[in-house]
Amino acid sequence: MTKAHAEAKALPAEYTRIPARRILVVSPTIRFALGPGDRALVSAGQSVEAGTPIAELTRDAEYVEVGRLPRPGDGNGASAVADAIPTLTWKEPGSDPILPPARDTGRGGGSDRANGTVAKGPGEKPAAPKEPGIERRQPPVPGKWWVGGSDRRGRAPGRREQPRRMAGTLLFEIGGRWRAAAGERHETVGSPTAGVVTEARNGLCVAIKVAGAAIPGAVAGGVPSRGYLDVPRLVDGELRDTALDVGRSGAIVVAGGRVSAEALTRARAMSIRGIVAGSLGQGELRDLAASEARQRSGLHPLPPFGVLGLDGHQRRPIASPILALLAALAGREVAIVTDPPLLVLDDLDVPLPELAPDWVRVRSGPQAGREGRWLGSAGLHRFRAGIHLEAANVRLGDDLTPTVIALADLERFIF
């Protein structure tokens, strides 16, 4: 990295006027948006590993009239309802509801419930324990986790009727009575990467400062996901749909310049965890969002699936320095994050590709996607339609003659 910087400094000022594109960002902050009914399972300052449950989402949160909630010290808190933190069993995000049935509330997992930890599933790590009962001792405030149901309000369920258990977050208090956004279906979100929680607020967001580095993208879709990086052989910079088979299950696949809606559907069906492409069309993102919505309403949702477009929406091949970096990372565990769009690497030990100091890429225009070497400034140049723009002479690929390209259409790479 130092060598590259030193070479870059030796370059003339005209070259540095080309917009720079950073290939790697170190320890970026990623965000997970929460809504009413969702709660953070971590707290600011806490370290998390990949897979640590960080939030519990309430699917189909409804408006619930909770009633009066006692404050600590009121003396009538024996039947307080905003206190119980249920035992949570870590499952894949999008899996079955995690709240235990009402009859289990009083037994089993008591220690976990008391200290607010989350039991782990195979291969998953628990969140750091909270101070026992600390959440219980907090007065009811907007955003506080609330658990309740018909049985909690003194109404015994009928013989055939299962007690309706709901959980969510308090919204507001009016006339001494609280309202909440709560639901019966919940799912847990695991951190896609290791890092330190910088912000965790029920109903708002969880933010994590990533421990490793990340490759920035331009657009992302789906949900954050994690898997091993698979860089298959690309034909003309593209990946054939048939290459997305079940053998790549659990992988985040580098799919070339553009990925079709059919390929995304196929990838999801094959339990592939994510796709990284040069570009993502809005049509494909829209289809993916619709598919996500259908999956959420289903009883057996598929594993999380994310897509990342490195350049934007129009078709472009992946830049060769980034492709070289991805190839060097093949086999490692990586994660796709959607806010901001990133491909997150677990550590900072990244094999950086060799890069000529005058290497440039055309990011837009008729030559978009081509790469070459910067030869020098071309000054103010008259382009198509009589538009005058600052330009540079670039030798693209194996071309014998240099091409004049507008500076704004070029990009150079920095680490």
Partner 1 sequence: MSRQPRAFFALDFGSATTSAAFVGHAGGRWRLLAHAAAPATTKLDALLLGILDRVQQADPELLEVVSAQQRPKPAALVVDLTRLEAHSTPPRRLAVLAGSRRQRRRLEEVAARAGWLVVGASADADDPVAMSRLVLSAATHAVLLGADSRPAGDERRHLPMLGALVAAAARSRPELAVVLAGGAAVRESDFLEAGEHDRIPDPAQAAAATQAAPPRPAGRGVLLAPGAESGLPAGAALQQVLEGVRARADESRLGVARSVGSLAFVLDRCIEALEVGIDGGLRCRAEPIGPGDRTIVSSHVALAAGSFAPLDPSDEIVDAVLSWSTVAFDRYRLSDRLRDLRISPWGEADGEGALLRLAAAKAAAERLVAATPEISAREMPDILIAAGGVWASTPPSVVALAMADVVRRPGIGRLACDQARLLGPLGTIGDEEERRRIIKDLADDVLLPLGSLILPSGIRQGRSAGRMRVLGESANSDIDLQPGGIWAVELPPGQTAMVEMDFRDTVRLGARGRHFSVEVLGGLGGLFVDLRDIPLRMPDRADQRRATWEAWQRAMWSEIDE
Which one, 182 or 350, has the nearer CB to partner 1?
182
Element (H, E) at 13: helix 13-16
Which one, 251 or 280, has the nearer CB to partner 1?
280
Q: How many residues does the chain have?
A: 415
Count the helix, strand and coil residues of the chain and give each as a percent rounded to the nearest 5.
20, 35, 45
Q: Output 133-136 pairs: Cβ under 8 A, ≥24 positions apart.
A: 135/83, 135/85, 136/80, 136/83, 136/85
DSSP characters for 129-176?
PPPTTTTTTSPP-TT-EEEEEGGGGT-PPPSSSPP-EEEEEEEEEETT
Q: Does the footprint of partner 1 cover residue 396 (CB under 8 A)?
A: no
Phi, psi (deg, nearest 5) at residue 112: -60, -40
Among 15, 30, 37, 56, binds partner 1 (CB under 8 A): 37
Q: How far is CA 237 from CA 186, 228, 255, 277, in A?
A: 41, 21, 8, 10
Q: Does the footprint of partner 1 cover residue 312 (CB under 8 A)?
A: yes
Q: Does the footprint of partner 1 cover residue 130 (CB under 8 A)?
A: yes
Q: Does the footprint of partner 1 cover residue 36 (CB under 8 A)?
A: yes
Binding region for partner 1 (CB under 8 A) out of 132-140, 229-237, 268-276, 321-329: 132-140
Q: Which amino acid belongs to residue 257?
A: G
Q: Output 370-373 pairs: Cβ under 8 A, ≥24 positions apart.
A: 370/396, 370/397, 371/319, 371/320, 371/396, 371/397, 372/396, 372/397, 372/399, 372/403
CB 220 within 8 A of CB 308: yes
Which one, 16 or 111, has the nearer CB to partner 1?
16
Q: Does the footprint of partner 1 cover residue 414 (CB under 8 A)?
A: no
Q: Does the footprint of partner 1 cover residue 86 (CB under 8 A)?
A: no
Among 11, 17, 270, 320, binds partner 1 (CB under 8 A): 17
Q: Does the footprint of partner 1 cover residue 131 (CB under 8 A)?
A: yes
Q: How far is the CB of 330 from partner 1 (least distance, A)?
A: 28
Among 138, 198, 265, 271, binds partner 1 (CB under 8 A): 138
User: Which residues sit opposite 275 in a β-bridge?
Assistant: 253, 307
Place of tokens 């994660």: 335
CB 338 within 8 A of CB 221: yes
Q: Does the footprint of partner 1 cover residue 35 (CB under 8 A)?
A: yes
Which one, 281 or 301, has the nearer CB to partner 1?
281
Query: Which x/- pattern, by CB under 8 A, does the window 317-346 give for partner 1?
Result: ------------------------------
Among 2, 384, 398, 401, binds partner 1 (CB under 8 A): 384
Q: What's the CA gap between 17 and 409, in Å, rounded? A: 12
Among 158, 387, 400, 401, binds partner 1 (CB under 8 A): 387
For residue 253, the 8-state DSSP code is E
Q: How far is the CB of 88 from partner 1 (least distance, A)?
A: 15
Torsion, Cα 281 282 283 288, to 10 degrees, reads 100
Q: Does the footprint of partner 1 cover residue 383 (CB under 8 A)?
A: yes
Q: Does the footprint of partner 1 cover residue 282 (CB under 8 A)?
A: yes
Which one, 172 or 331, has the nearer CB to partner 1?
172
For residue 45, the 8-state DSSP code is T
Which one, 243 or 322, has the nearer CB to partner 1?
322
CB 307 within 8 A of CB 218: no
Q: Does the footprint of partner 1 cover residue 264 (CB under 8 A)?
A: no
Which one, 351 or 366, has the nearer CB to partner 1?
366
Which one, 218 or 328, has the nearer CB to partner 1?
218
Q: Does the footprint of partner 1 cover residue 359 (CB under 8 A)?
A: no
Say how many C-beta atoms besides its own lie within 10 A of residue 100's C-beta: 17
In the window 149-208, what residues touch partner 1 (CB under 8 A)?
171-175, 179, 181, 200-205
Q: Does the footprint of partner 1 cover residue 26 (CB under 8 A)?
A: no
Q: What's the CA gap between 50 and 242, in Å, rounded? A: 30
Which one, 25 or 141, has the nearer CB to partner 1?
141
Please count the residues of this chain forming the interface with partner 1, following the rule CB under 8 A. 68
Binding residues for partner 1 (CB under 8 A): 13, 16-17, 19-20, 31, 33, 35-37, 43-46, 61-63, 71, 116, 130-131, 134-135, 138-139, 141-144, 171-175, 179, 181, 200-205, 218-219, 281-283, 312-314, 363-366, 368, 382-390, 406-409
